[in-house]
Chains A and B, each alone.
Chain A
Amino acid sequence: MAEGTAVTERTATTERAGRRRGPHLVPGRMVAVLLGGLAAALAAVAMAGVTVGSVDLPPGAVWRVIGSHLTGAASPDPLRDQVIWELRTPRVLVAALVGAGLSVAGVALQALVRNPLADPYVLGVSAGASLGAVLVVSFGATAFGGLGVTGAAFVTALLSVLAVYALAQRGGRLLDSRLVLAGVAVGYLCSAATSFVQLRLDPSELQGLMFWLMGSVAGATWSDLGVPAAVIAACTVLLLVQGRSMNALLAGDDAAAGLGASVPALRIALLVVASLLTATSVAVVGGIGFVGLMVPHAARFLVGADHRRVLPVAALGGAVFLVAVDIVARTADRPNELPIGIFTTGLGVPFFLWLLRRRPGGAA
């Protein structure tokens, strides 16, 4: 009798311990803590981003300048004010927004094509968006039916996703090899067209070309922030609402329909959201690669595959990541600044290859 009770208790304890641990590194109830930690990390890395650069500034001065703007007081030091408030702060905020936007775009694309290798850069969506942006920058809004830079980038991004999608599928199933090859091909085509448009217009504009091909957050201004902030917030909320359906979609179209998801509508929503997020990012900072590949993977590694957890973790994590990478890009070769895309690609390609090798033979 006593023995029986002891055994039952032990079993119960083991079960409880097992449940508390769960299969994910960060269990469900700790996700809020993780998000708080990421928010704190974002604040810290943003502060560092404003403090360091070609000239390092004392943190006290940074606080005083930011404080003066937030309270509306007169600025203590016009020169530092210029560097901190007009150059570095918007730059850090743009890096954070774009990091979040590209990461969320990666999550949307990966759910759409049901393949973790998807990323706006790998699938040629960034290159597609660059083309539209460059057309408007070069020829003016009239070249694209009155659309602005972001609008034109959205149209060409959407067209390139559709092209990749159509090329990569056979009988409704997407194959790894075809997906990557179609993405690379569409990306090259769009990049070539972008180069052609720019060089034709102004052969001395090589600097601008580098911007669209490699991406850069240098030169971001306060006026660059509004549209991306609104688009990224709206898209992230829209995806969060669809989190359950996105989970179901991973099990296949038939299973998702069986679970009550409206599959065609969901696919259209994911297509539009991924294109919109990529387009707004590219319009502001050019093509920055592999953020949408690495960050969602890191998020899933921590919290598992449930999109309702992956999305907020990836958004905040992506913001932290890109602000941090921008600090490295600014300080690695001082006083020169290197394009941020060199670093994200330098990290992302080995990661991509590792992921490619780890996956079983090209299955969808």
Chain B
Amino acid sequence: MRLDIAGVTAEIDGTPIVSDVDLVAEPGAFVGLIGPNGSGKSTLLRTVYRSLRPSAGAVSLDGDDLWRMRARQAARRRAVVTQHGDLGGEFSVAEVVAMGRAPHKGVLERENAADRAVVADSLERVGLAHASDRLFSTLSGGERQRALVARALAQEAPLLILDEPTNHLDVRAQLGLLDLVRSLGLTLLAALHDLDHAAAYCDRVVVLQHGRVRASGPPLEVLTPEFVADVFGVRAHIGAHPITGRPHIAVASAKPW
């Protein structure tokens, strides 16, 4: 699935939050959306969730305008893991994941054996098969994110959008989640906070600042020390990770002490 965000401007209460953004995720690529707080990452993603209509430009999936599809049709082609994944009620993990089947079901159609198989398989892929009968609210932060990824998998959509999926997770859960989504074989667009994660996991990064694209390309080409200092206001060192050998960005406060 190719995601194409072309010239998108999105406004909240008449104020443009993102302006004229171009972003392409090629099939199977992991694209990282990075930028300081308030740079418009979440707002841009909302135009792909279809919860904020762009005031200009277009979002398309394999050339079809996302905003001209029916809501259910769109949900069969792209799945979403939002930042505030809390559910307001007592759902079991299996019930949460089964919500992902909604775009495949008629309004009065009940989940059948095939749906249950998809749910079980999704839980298996995120390593939560054992937890399917637990209450979602009793899961740890890392398990919750995995359950929400499983819900997205149950949508069987080729494109997955994630908004800061590693927020509030401990280090092991953060890396585990990134390993997991990278292994799914889907086209990924994720807003990420951690530059090191972006460097290590993403095929391409798109950097937003003040609602506009500052740069895009392979992480090591984009995230030079000068560029990081300019956009994020920190000093950066780019090298090979001492343990994994993958690209690695170390950052330090702009003021030495």
Contact = CB atoms under 8 A, between A and B. Distances in A.
Given A19-B133, A116-B88, A259-B155, A244 B99 contact: yes
A252 B82 contact: yes
Interface in B18-48: 46
Nearest to A245: B102
Interface in B129-166: 132-135, 151-152, 155, 161
B105 interface: yes
Nearest to B135: A23
B108 A241 contact: yes
A248 B102 contact: yes
Interface string B65-91: 000000111111011101011111111
Contacts of A19: 132-133
B58 to A, nearest CB: 17
A23 B100 contact: no
A36 B102 CA distance: 28
Given A241-B107, A251-B85, A252-B84, A258 B72 contact: no
B88 A304 contact: no
B95 interface: yes
A247 B51 contact: no
Interface residues of A, number: 32
A253 to B, nearest CB: 5
B241 interface: no
Interface stretch (A96-104, A195-203, A260-268, A342-350): A260-268
A261 B102 contact: yes
Interface of A: 18-19, 21-24, 114-116, 241-242, 244-245, 247-248, 250-255, 257-263, 300, 304-306
24 contacts: A23-B90, A114-B88, A116-B88, A241-B107, A244-B102, A244-B107, A248-B102, A250-B88, A251-B87, A252-B84, A252-B85, A254-B80, A254-B82, A255-B80, A257-B51, A258-B49, A258-B80, A258-B82, A258-B161, A260-B71, A260-B73, A260-B75, A262-B71, A300-B90
Q: Which 6 A-B pairs have the closest CB atoms?
A: A258-B80, A305-B89, A260-B75, A260-B103, A257-B51, A260-B72
